[in-house]
Structure 1
């Protein structure tokens, strides 16, 4: 992630939490709210008033670290990017996360086939558009309720192809919601290659816009680039927790 993008995201987080750059919490209604002190090593903590006082205040609630956050804070709920700027922002973030991005107009079948090894085994969720796999010459297995592939069977698949529910441009995040065209979580975690189709109509600017489109009780999977970790000696290792390769096909429809 570029420094500019990081600063922009952190700035918006601070704004949403109602705090200034130095970590001081503020109330959008009445200005600065005392932050208080975090719990000490002996377990003592600073009181923020009685429950009656809290109810009277109405808006302020305890925050992590002993501060106070105003519930009525004016959160940013709508982004400012749209059209080509929105799409280009998503592409920039995805590339920054080391995902491979391919933009097509209309039918993505030929692009998808070109990303898959000819003659290989590929798994798809039961609700995926059948036409998307028409140009692929390999073996396609459909994962469906009552016909779920086992972990060893999924491990034998060269790739998985799914659709997506939402793509969030600011964070370069693709969300799968467990719907028939996205499939269950296991099929996108075990194969080493994930080809994910994103419709332009499903791209939003910021996280609140994305969350507003999702069903909270769904099995949501948030994907920001291929699986990677730097836990071991601070060296980036890809493919530890999921697919090593992520190809995102952005479809203009």
Structure 2
């Protein structure tokens, strides 16, 4: 790496660290321009900022279709429901004798399920052994990112604490159409940076050195996503 290239990179990093949200640039000290380039670090940062997208271009059904495409590509099972997802949920968890839900989940969503519903709540957390004995977990979500096929849980009453979505082998997650965004910056803008965020892109999976895919190693083996209209 030449001295010019090194100084250019360091100048860009320094400039980026000095910027604030919304594209405003705040610098406590001047940055030395890279030698021989004829451009300052500030110009480089401005160029980078101008190419950074804060909002996506997909809307409506196109946005939903993109999310579904990405989720399926990650081997998640995707379902659609209008207004009331209870019938779909009952079909998905009907083979389990017991499931766990966070304390804030809409109780009517489980009315079609005939098995036991265990509620995990602050001060009444289920043990790891209890969670391991559940057939599945049903939660809502905070936001879903279409471009990356990612669902985000934020530890709220509807999403629950992280452990309940990692230990059971089957996760049924409800995503409201109003919570779907196109790109990552739109999702970050909606989320509380201080919340315990969990980003989910498909069921848990890993591959060994021979690229043999194994699912369920770090979390649920099966992920069912219900896209809820209304």
After TM superposition, is the score higher than 0.5?
yes
Structure 2 equivalent of residue 115 of structure 1: 92
TM-score by length of 2: 0.82
**Residue 45 (structure 2) pairs with residue 70 (structure 1):** yes
Aligned residues of 1:77 and 1:208 also touching (Cα < 8 A):
yes
Q: Which runs of 5+ in 2 are unaligned?
A: 15-26, 35-40
Structure 1 equivalent of residue 60 of structure 2: 83
DSSP-derived class of the 2:69 partner? helix
DSSP-derived class of the 1:36 partner? helix
Q: How many residues align?
A: 204
Structure 2 equivalent of residue 169 of structure 1: 146
**Residue 206 (structure 2) pairs with residue 229 (structure 1):** yes
Cα deviation for residue 233 of structure 1 reads: 2.6
Cα deviation for residue 131 of structure 1 reads: 0.6
Write the distance in 1 (CA, Å) between the matches of 2:70 and 2:33.
36
Structure with more of its chain in helix, by fraction: 2
| Distance change (3 Å), C-alpha of 1:126 and 1:73 | same
Q: Give the RMSD, CA atoms, in angstroms.
A: 2.6
- Aligned counterpart for 1:126 among listed residues 91, 96, 103: 103
**Residue 190 (structure 2) pairs with residue 216 (structure 1):** no
DSSP-derived class of the 1:167 partner? strand
Write the distance in 2 (CA, Å) between the matches of 1:231 and 1:175.
27
DSSP-derived class of the 1:78 partner? coil
* Cα shift readout 1:49-86 (whole Å, capped 9, x = no counterpart): xx9x99323999xxxxxx99727622200000000000
Q: How does 1:18-167 map to 2 (within 5 A)?
A: 35-36=5-6, 55-57=29-31, 70=45, 73-74=49-50, 75-118=52-95, 120-167=97-144
Q: Which runs of 4+ in 1 moved over 3 A?
A: 57-60
DSSP-derived class of the 1:57 partner? coil
Structure 1 equivalent of residue 181 of structure 2: 204
* Cα shift readout 1:94-147 (whole Å, capped 9, x = no counterpart): 000000000111100000000013451100000000110011011000000110
* Cα shift readout 1:147-186 (whole Å, capped 9, x = no counterpart): 0000000000000000000000000000000000000000
| Distance change (3 Å), C-alpha of 1:232 and 1:186 | farther
Write the distance in 2 (CA, Å) between the matches of 1:59 and 1:127.
54
| Distance change (3 Å), C-alpha of 1:58 and 1:216 | farther
Q: Which runs of 5+ in 1 are unaligned?
A: 1-33, 38-45, 61-66
